[in-house]
Amino acid sequence: MNILKTKEEIINTITNEENILIVQDLDGVCIPLVQDPLKREIEKEYVEDVSKLREKFSVLTCGEHEGRRGVNRLVEKALNSRTKAKENGFYLPGLAACGVEFQDKYSNSSYPGLKDNEINFLKKVPKIMRLMLTNELKKFLPNLSNDLRTKLIDVAVCDTRFTPTLNFNEIFTLVKNDLKKVKSLQLVMEKIMNNLLEDSKSIGLENSFHLHLMPNLGLKNGKEIMKYATQNDFGTTDIQFVIKGAIKEAGLLFLLNKYISKKTGVYPFGASFNVRNAPKTLNKLIDLCRDKIPRDQMPLLVGIGDTVTSVKDDKKNSWLRGGSDRGFLTLIQKLGESYKKDNQVIFVNSCNDQVSRPRVNGTDMKGVSDPNDDLKFNMIINDGPQEYIKWFRQLANKF
């Protein structure tokens, strides 16, 4: 059973500590989910309040900072200026692209762990996606006009630099009342992305990439499990083509490494530490922290996310648990237990009328958590990003 705190109690817990690091996801947390990612918006007041937290705040997202789809463009639009964020340090600092795109608040960026041949292949991926998706939609939805098909493909193919993505939210709306067709489209999405993986292997990049399904049901044999559509939600709506090793829990340690180096002048894991050379399991990540970070240097950690899933597997009488935020939120909780720190884990209900996701309703956590789940939330933001931003602004104004 989750022991939930009030918003005021969480703020007090955070502000009573001097050494804190808030690690926050973006889409679904401070940015409302939309069918077309190019129509996302971020609030000006939120952006300005982030800067008040200085080094105490970092983002950790599978979205990206730069490019036409990057959050930096949303920040500039919110401020109605292309220069104000750079001049005043209003960009959102932290780690994007699931762990391989780092920037400070002035948008000075680096790409820790990435290789040139990987970057070159990623540049070609969106074009290949378009061709494959065009062919599949002609077969699957043959009655679409050319104009509508092109419009759907423009929305579905997210041409981000390090995490090119297929987003089927808008395509699903065409068949939303037919579960069988939604599931078939999920398989189309998976087929395209698996073909891309095979293409990368054929040019010697067999250990460079993996597929990140959002949301998912955890891992099986090293691969993320598709969450098929149900009457309550569409399940997996996006698949990202991601650098192997780029997972948020490894990204959390990268951020810790940066944070502590600013405080002490020393990188606990070494200056070249990144998500590619990080340990691959939760326990080994904890062991590395225990080995390299003394208790007085470990900050109180606050994790905020929205993508956490749990579904009962009736055949095996077990639970399938996943979601891109589950790993780093669990790690924050376990580090709190290990270091005897009052770390906080906050869940934001991101489900809305545009994007269907599992949501917590009071004590009913179906689809998100279960009675045997190790991950426990300290606070649940019921009404999504709008309510979260209101709370965040209260917190930021304490600093």
Residue whose C-alpha is closest to residue 244's, from 223, 214, 221, 217: 223
Q: Based on the domain organization, do 218 and 277 belong to the same domain?
A: no
For the record, the structure tokens of 208 come out as 């460079």
Examine residue 90 and state whether it is found in any structural domain, yes or no: no
177: pLDDT strictly greater than 90: no
pLDDT in tens, 232-268: 788 999 999 999 988 999 999 999 999 999 999 999 9
The model's confidence at residue 363, banded by pLDDT at 50, 70 and 90, is confident
Q: Based on the domain organization, do 252 and 365 belong to the same domain?
A: yes
pLDDT at residue 99, rounded to an integer: 92
Q: Based on the domain organization, do 239 and 270 belong to the same domain?
A: no
DSSP code at position 361: B
Angstrom distance (rounded) from CA 216 to CA 137: 24
Which stretches does DSSP call E strand in 114-204?
157-158, 165-167
Residue whose C-alpha is closest to residue 195's, from 275, 113, 149, 136: 136
% of the chain with per-residue pLDDT over 90: 90
Angstrom distance (rounded) from CA 323 to CA 348: 13
Q: Based on the domain organization, do 186 and 264 belong to the same domain?
A: no
Q: Based on the domain organization, do 341 and 362 belong to the same domain?
A: yes
Examine residue 375 and state whether it is found in any structural domain, yes or no: yes
Q: Based on the domain organization, do 294 and 339 belong to the same domain?
A: yes
Q: What is the mean pLDDT of the chain?
A: 95
Angstrom distance (rounded) from CA 172 to CA 371: 31
Angstrom distance (rounded) from CA 94 to CA 173: 33
The HSE-up count of residue 205 (CA atoms within 13 Å, CB side) is: 22
171: pLDDT strictly greater than 60: yes
The range of the structural domain enclosing residue 299 comes to 7-60+247-396
Number of domains composing the chain = 2
pLDDT mean over 95-104? 95
186: pLDDT strictly greater than 80: yes
pLDDT at residue 2, rounded to an integer: 56
pLDDT at residue 278, rounded to an integer: 97
Q: Based on the domain organization, do 379 and 298 belong to the same domain?
A: yes
% of the chain with per-residue pLDDT over 70: 99
The CATH number covering residue 336 comes to 3.40.50
For the record, the structure tokens of 124 come out as 């070609």
> Which of 194, 218, 243 is at the close of a domain?
243
pLDDT at residue 1, rounded to an integer: 45
Q: Based on the domain organization, do 196 and 215 belong to the same domain?
A: yes
Q: How far is CA 33 from CA 40, 156, 185, 241, 374, in A?
A: 7, 14, 20, 20, 27
pLDDT in tens, 308-348: 999 998 888 899 999 999 999 999 999 999 999 999 999 99
pLDDT mean over 300-304? 98
pLDDT at residue 233, rounded to an integer: 82
Q: Based on the domain organization, do 260 and 389 belong to the same domain?
A: yes
pLDDT in tens, 194-232: 999 999 999 999 999 999 999 999 999 989 999 999 887
Q: How far is CA 344 from CA 249, 308, 376, 379, in A?
A: 15, 16, 10, 8
Angstrom distance (rounded) from CA 346 to CA 367: 17
pLDDT mean over 5-12? 96
Examine residue 80 and state whether it is found in any structural domain, yes or no: no
Examine residue 74 and state whether it is found in any structural domain, yes or no: no
> Which of 243, 273, 308 is at the close of a domain?
243
